Amino acid sequence: MFEHAVDRVASLFQAERIFVVTGAEHVASLAAQAPELPVENLIVEPEGRGTAPCIGLGAIHLHRQDAQAVMAVLTADHFIADPDGFCQALAAAAQVAKEGHLVTLGIKPTYPSTGYGYIKQGASLGVVEGCEVFRAERFTEKPSLETALHMVESGEYSWNSGMFIWRVDRILEEFQRRMPEFYVQLMEIEATLGTPGYEATLSRVWPQVTKQTIDYGVMEGAADVTVIPVDIGWSDVGSWTSLAALLPADEAGNIAVGPHVGVDTRDTLVFGGKRLIATIGLEGMVIVDTEDALLVCPKEREQEVREIVRLLEREDNQRYL
């Protein structure tokens, strides 16, 4: 998916303009997958601190080269069926961002998902490069099913794709306004870019950075946010249902990755490894078998996996981790 993410923007960005923020353990693998990228464009994050710090770290590297550079924040684990439409939207967003707006790509909802965030579209700002641009009135994070139904039926909301386009000086302004402590930390790190002291400063400062998402930390209270709704066959592959939508099913609607034998089994996703998984009398289920854990749940409750994570994080359940 990382290779696809690089390839689909190749028509817009030369390799030297593509930067990747990642952990040290992934650098060698990603460099091998995309050898056209300059090795210095692989920015190492000492440890994960959430999307806001990750984006901030990337931003200061671009800021050092060009204070008014237009920065597109894209993730490496999205599936996009229409890369041409995606690039058209990015080109439109770049034009809007040059004027100082913070731009997010919104996804036209196909069902009332409770796993995605939503963006309410406000007044239209016109059409740019064939894409209509709206004021972003409000961000709503992972609504209830009833609320999601209302949002989808209203036609006024887009899913929050987590893809953003802005001038780098503008997002740094918002970091300064919305996350002032983190902004000071970023400036301390930026002051050492290109010097022998960079690595030591980054290693010292980064563990002190507060974990935060870009949505909560910046976007929900940012000034001058716009949204461009797009229909590009997008999926963040962030759930087993979204993965199933991308894989071929048999005549009974079952999708199997790995050995599977089913009797009277329908509309079920089986994701395993080398071990055979056998099912009898199941319908609408998700089964995920890994080396250290087995998940079995109805499709409609797959978003509740986060509850399992919370239970495992409790001290009395640490023995399972």
The rounded distance, in Å, linking the Cα atoms of 159 and 142 is 10
Does CATH number 3.90.550.10 belong to domain 2-235? yes
Whether the model clears a pTM of 0.75, i.e. scores above it, the answer is yes
> What tens-digit pLDDT sequence spans the chain (321 residues)?
899 999 999 999 999 999 999 999 999 999 999 999 999 999 999 999 999 999 999 999 999 999 999 999 998 888 899 999 999 999 999 999 999 999 999 999 988 888 889 999 999 999 999 999 999 999 988 888 899 999 999 999 999 999 999 999 999 999 999 999 999 999 999 999 999 999 999 999 999 999 999 999 999 899 999 999 999 999 887 778 777 878 899 999 999 999 999 999 999 999 998 899 999 999 999 999 988 889 999 988 887 888 888 888 886 776 776
Report the candidate in 297, 161, 309 with the shortest Cα–Cα distance to residue 241.
297
Report how many helices (DSSP H) and strands (DSSP E) the chain contains, helices first. 11, 16
pLDDT on residue 285: 95
Report the candidate in 174, 151, 156 with the shortest Cα–Cα distance to residue 73.
174
Beta carbons of 132 and 90 less than 8 angstroms apart? no
Domain locations along the chain: 2-235, 240-320
Q: Give pLDDT tens digits for 6-60.
A: 999 999 999 999 999 999 999 999 999 999 999 999 999 999 999 999 999 999 9
The single-letter DSSP state of residue 162 is E
pLDDT on residue 321: 64
The rounded distance, in Å, linking the Cα atoms of 106 and 165 is 12
